[in-house]
Structure 1
Amino acid sequence: MLRRNLIYFLVSVVALASCTPRKTDQQTTSADTTAHISDDSLLTLVEARTFQYFWNGAEPTSGAARERFHADNVYPENDKHIVTSGGTGFGVMAILVGIERGFITREQGLERLTHFITWLEKADRFHGVWPHWWNGETGKVKPFSPNDNGGDLVETSYLLQGLLCVRQYFKEGNEQEKALAGRIDKLWREVEFDWHRNNKQNVLYWHWSPDKAWVMNFAVEGYNECLIMYILAAASPTHGVPAEVYHDGWARKGGIRNDSTHQQYGYHLDLRHNGAQQYGGPLFWSHYSYLGLDPHNLKDRYADYWTHNRNHTLINYRYCVENPKQYKGYGENSWGLTASYSINGYAAHSPAEDLGVISPTAALSSFPYTPEESMKALKHFYFDLGDKTFGEYGFYDAFSEHHNWYLPRYLAIDQGPIIVMIENHRSGLLWKLFMSAPEVQQGLDKLGFTR
């Protein structure tokens, strides 16, 4: 692994202090601004800042990731202490990156993760499944909507994806590290994926509530961001589901395949994207399930997932370069459409829902798929746009040059993929950890994946 000691990191921070983003009153060229910092150092700096969202920015009682952080201090009522299960799954992966990159020591990471697991063991869950949101101070569920006040199997799967990486990281360590790995293993084994078949149907349901039961009625079919849920459900050593749940439910008895030969910008999508077939859905569909699940050479009867995700990203990129709606600021150095804050609240940006808003997480979390295009975007966001887009916890969630809209706000579920996927691009750290779990390998075998 890439363990760097803390002293090296502190020296690097001093060296990078002169490289803070410039004000944009006078635009500077790439040649003017990049001569004094290497691409590798810039990636480390971005990782370090983004890491702080999950470290200094964590909710203090739980140690979990806050749903949001607004540097302008404008929040929805009673929102600062709300934490997110999925975003925390990304956050525990970020802590492992922090250890490996020397941002914190191994001992500090172990202490924080142990603190969080102690809180998590007592927090609300439903048949072992965690809610989308909790009150970080109490561990009680915070309803995501009036009928969504129980278990959220998709967000739980994002959390488990991260926790299994933590388990694998510490399982051969000292006594305290092994104890943490064992506690995580117990939580993993208690998640009742089979309960979410809703009376043994061959599909998984997203939500269940103790007083609303299955009223949300959301059977999860592909393709969208939820592949990891089905893989973990197949992999569960205690509450696993048969392969038919994947093939009949998620894959819709083969209906997930895109049998059309149509290409967009010369790229084909192997899978039918729900509601967004022409260009593909928001880019987070190629990020969230693949923070731990390594798409390299990953294939089943429906798709080659590396090719599919790369093509999805390149279609999104080419669309922004073409810029058919003629938005100011779009181009080969400024691209990326995905779900994020927007000019009117929150939106699932994609070529099919293009509002002139760029979300930095889209391009930056795509580094494994499009390293050259993503690096150009990173440099533009950092050097050219400067403190309009970069702050205490890394790049802000979204911006629009067209609408002159720059909001200094962050969302956990967008920050996490940035640091995790940049690190996967650089070292494969989280991919190696997650794929080393024997249950994951067994689950993939059960579903007919090759890799």
Structure 2
Amino acid sequence: MNRIFVYAFAVLVVFSACNPSKNKGDSKHLSDQELIDVVQRQTFRYFWEGAEPNSGAARERIHIDGVYPQNDKNVVTTGATGFGIMGIISAIERKYITREEGVERLSKILDFLKNADRFHGAWPHWLQGETGETKPFSKKDDGGDLVETSFVAQGLICVKQYFKDGTEEEKKLSTLADDLWKGIDFKWYTRGQNVLYWHWSPNYGWDMNFPIHGYNECLVMYVLAAASPTHGVEAAVYHEGWAENGKIKKEHEYEGIKLQLRHQGVDNGGPLFWAHYSYLGLNPHGLKDAYASYWEENRNQVLINYQWCVNNPLKYKGYGKDSWGLTSSYSVKGYAGHAPAMERDLGVIAPTAAISSIVYTPEQSLSAMRNWYENKKDRLWGEYGFYDAFSETDNWYPQKYLGIDQGPVVVMLENYRSKLLWKLFMSDSDVQNGLNKLGFQYEK
């Protein structure tokens, strides 16, 4: 009997070791760091296994189920590709992939970008992955997109810094990244005025007529425009264009949480990606200029978003301290820029909003992440991490991903853990020159 008992016990031990639900992989028993690692690793897969195969770049979207047929699997999006480039660097550091695998993939992506359509140095919003040719985002948006291009440049500068002292192959990659970002003609996109324009088309010229004023997701574009050693702009472009000679300043508060800047179109802060996209490389800690403290602004934007969802003035199902986050994402009816305002809150939560805010609100972000992973995993979790968005009110749980929302999850989780991408971007001498030109205080 003793031998039988010992044998049975041994089998049980082996079974438990092999069964992820009975060891530290059990979602109910993950530490905070284990949970962060699981989410970061799984989300990174969007930019690795899920990448467009010819280019290695980030797909615009991936739909998992057949409910939402997809006919654009080879369309890549430039902004998310920039985020994915940064994600690959983080994956090398985390040993999700080897350094050699990372160099190989990054070389593939950068070679694709080198040969793809560009318009005065700027890439379009969308590219065909098989050919590198432009896929129009809309009829007149068929040329350069300076905002998406700046998100690419943010990633290129991190590549430049990460590999500059490496092997000969890595130094070659670093040089290519530097050449690509320095090829962006920011000056062209001023039209000779003291402001940057979002679009230019070879077929429609400046017809879209979109001068970029703050505050929104575009701060890094103005920093890079000032930083460019080849096609740089003067400080007046920033102060007169982005800041509109001080009109960017507009104090507002929600339940005692204060904002310093005019958030375009919403008093309580825009969609949460405004606190993410420019700050994947641009470190908000200690970042100040004549108009704002950007750490304070971003953190308070997130806190307002969180408190709005806790208060839940529209009484949507499922909102609360452990389920919050309004940003631009898929919505029950198409796509929407969800934000804390009565007309902009549609009952749709996007996991990227809370998770990518972890650098500002670690306790609140971890609470939401744990709730979704432990209690709603069957409806919210898939091959590439949390799905893009959901609504408990509408019982709406689409199995869909958007590249532009996946990227900040990977990068901001890494910045929370190690500040890796912040350190790389902020260590670049061109970036520092640009910040100095615009009068910023910052942490190197």
Q: Same fold (TM over 0.5)?
A: yes
1:167 aligns with 2:160: yes
Matched residues in 1 for 2:293 and 2:242: separation?
Answer: 16
- Deviation at residue 329 of structure 1 after TM alignment: 0.1
Q: Deviations over 1:128-148 (max 9, x none)?
A: 110000000010000000000
Q: CA distance change for structure 1 residues 131 and 19 in 2, over 3 Å: closer, same or farther?
A: farther
Alignment size in residue pairs: 424
Matched residues in 1 for 2:18 and 2:91: separation?
Answer: 18
Residue identity in the other structure for 2:204: K
Q: CA distance change for structure 1 residues 82 and 76 in 2, over 3 Å: closer, same or farther?
A: farther
Q: Aligned match of 1:18 in 21, 42, 54? A: 21
- Deviation at residue 189 of structure 1 after TM alignment: 1.3
- Deviation at residue 78 of structure 1 after TM alignment: 3.4
Residue identity in the other structure for 2:375: D
1:336 aligns with 2:288: no
1:210 aligns with 2:202: yes
Residue aligning to 1:61: 54
Residue aligning to 2:107: 114
- Deviation at residue 115 of structure 1 after TM alignment: 1.0
Equivalent residues of 2:63, 2:70 under 8 A apart: no
Residue aligning to 2:293: 304
Equivalent residues of 1:284, 1:362 under 8 A apart: yes
Residue identity in the other structure for 1:364: I
Equivalent residues of 1:342, 1:357 under 8 A apart: yes
- Deviation at residue 18 of structure 1 after TM alignment: 2.8
Secondary structure of residue in 1 paired with 2:259:
coil
Matched residues in 2 for 1:152 and 1:239: separation?
Answer: 16
Q: Deviations over 1:298-347 (max 9, x none)?
A: 00010000001000000000000000000010000000000000000000
- Deviation at residue 397 of structure 1 after TM alignment: 0.1
Q: Aligned match of 1:383 in 359, 364, 374? A: 374
Matched residues in 1 for 2:246 and 2:19: separation?
Answer: 51
Matched residues in 2 for 1:128 and 1:208: separation?
Answer: 11
Q: Aligned match of 1:123 in 116, 129, 154? A: 116
Matched residues in 2 for 1:16 and 1:146: separation?
Answer: 53
Residue aligning to 1:236: 228
Residue identity in the other structure for 1:285: W
1:357 aligns with 2:360: no
Q: Aligned match of 1:428 in 415, 419, 435? A: 419
Matched residues in 2 for 1:248 and 1:407: separation?
Answer: 43
Residue aligning to 2:182: 189
- Deviation at residue 17 of structure 1 after TM alignment: 3.7
**Percentage identity across aligned positions?**
61
Q: Aligned match of 1:275 in 265, 270, 279? A: 265
Residue aligning to 2:193: 201
5 Å-filtered alignment, 1:9-88, equals: 17-18=20-21, 34=28, 36-73=29-66, 78-88=71-81
Equivalent residues of 2:143, 2:199 under 8 A apart: yes
Residue identity in the other structure for 1:149: D
Residue aligning to 2:253: 263
The answer to which of 180-189 and 52-61 deviates more is 180-189
Q: Deviations over 1:14-56 (max 9, x none)?
A: 9894389x9xxxxxxxxx963x321111110101100100000
Equivalent residues of 2:216, 2:270 under 8 A apart: yes
Equivalent residues of 2:27, 2:373 under 8 A apart: no
Equivalent residues of 1:382, 1:390 under 8 A apart: yes
Structure 1: give runs of 5+ residues left out of the alignment.
1-13, 23-31
Matched residues in 2 for 1:192 and 1:16: separation?
Answer: 55
- Deviation at residue 74 of structure 1 after TM alignment: 5.2
Equivalent residues of 1:167, 1:181 under 8 A apart: yes
Secondary structure of residue in 1 paired with 2:414:
helix
- Deviation at residue 254 of structure 1 after TM alignment: 0.3
Equivalent residues of 2:162, 2:424 under 8 A apart: yes
Residue identity in the other structure for 2:278: S
Matched residues in 2 for 1:18 and 1:426: separation?
Answer: 26
- Deviation at residue 387 of structure 1 after TM alignment: 2.0
Secondary structure of residue in 2 paired with 1:351:
coil
Matched residues in 1 for 2:295 and 2:419: separation?
Answer: 14
- Deviation at residue 76 of structure 1 after TM alignment: 6.2
Secondary structure of residue in 1 paired with 2:249:
coil
1:319 aligns with 2:311: no
Q: TM-score, normalised by structure 1?
A: 0.92
1:440 aligns with 2:426: no
1:367 aligns with 2:358: yes
Q: CA distance change for structure 1 residues 146 and 96 in 2, over 3 Å: closer, same or farther?
A: same
Residue identity in the other structure for 1:302: Y
- Deviation at residue 122 of structure 1 after TM alignment: 0.7
Q: Aligned match of 2:392 in 392, 397, 401? A: 401
Equivalent residues of 2:144, 2:201 under 8 A apart: yes
Matched residues in 2 for 1:418 and 1:208: separation?
Answer: 30
- Deviation at residue 263 of structure 1 after TM alignment: 1.9
Residue aligning to 1:28: none
Equivalent residues of 1:19, 1:37 under 8 A apart: no
Residue identity in the other structure for 1:118: D
Residue aligning to 1:347: 336
Structure 2: give runs of 5+ residues left out of the alignment.
1-16
Q: Deviations over 1:156-214 (max 9, x none)?
A: 0001101111111001101000001111111111110000001x100000000111100
Matched residues in 2 for 1:449 and 1:137: separation?
Answer: 41
Residue identity in the other structure for 1:170: F
Secondary structure of residue in 1 paired with 2:245:
helix
Secondary structure of residue in 1 paired with 2:102:
helix
Equivalent residues of 1:397, 1:414 under 8 A apart: yes
